[in-house]
Chains A and B, each alone.
Chain A
């Protein structure tokens, strides 16, 4: 069965620090990968996604993620975080084929930024 692991449950950083959130998935075939963000009190919003091609994907608000197929990883990065990045971040995976049934989410990483 497919699964997604996010090893960091809560990350605390100071403003301007660099960020890397880990995500590993288990699935033997070709996948589509996503990072969603949930700001306090809000619903999930798509941050970025990977389908194919360049394994380095750039998303909104200066975030990027790198797909490393050999490591089954899709880590999220940002060079310099801001207080407004305080949120919960979810990694997610789905098989690439169009009949894929559903997206599997990781358990989430809560990011707290100290002003």
Chain B
């Protein structure tokens, strides 16, 4: 099983719909992150969480919300999806005790808003 699992892998949704992307991990890491990837823009941070009670906005949080239901679960919601939210979304985790060791990424969710 993958260390960081994202569901769904692919999703097509209509403008105005609410959609939730889910991420779960078996790494035991305390920190979790949501990024979106767009061609030519690299990865941009949407939200991050250092532990269950800690949620922080990233550089592009408008139009998104998150929920850290447990240490192992971190969900991203689009309250009212719009076409420019079409992107590849990645969840990542890290261990604060080993902060310099980088992230572990999930396989991504490809979201298309029509």
Contacts and interface: CB of A to CB of B under 8 A. Distances in A.
Contact of A49 (B41, B97, B101): B101
Given A32-B100, A102-B58, A107-B42, A43 B33 contact: no
B45 A90 contact: no
Interface stretch (A60-68, A75-83, A92-100): A92-100
Contacts of A84: none
Contacts of B105: 43-45
The interface residues of chain B, by DSSP majority, are classed as mixed
Contacts of A92: 102
Interface residues of A, number: 27
Contacts of B106: 43
Interface string B31-52: 0010100001111010010100
- Band of interface residues on B: 20 to 34
A34 B42 contact: no
Contacts of A90: 42-43
B74 interface: no
B99 A98 contact: yes
A70 interface: no
A115 to B, nearest CB: 24
Interface string B76-111: 000000000000001000001101111101111000
B96 A99 contact: yes
A86 B34 CA distance: 26
A102 B48 contact: yes
A105 B42 contact: yes
A51 B43 contact: no
Given A42-B107, A102-B58, A97 B40 contact: no
B99 A94 contact: yes
Given A97-B99, A102-B45, A105-B42, 6 more contacts: A9-B40, A43-B90, A44-B103, A49-B101, A96-B100, A108-B42
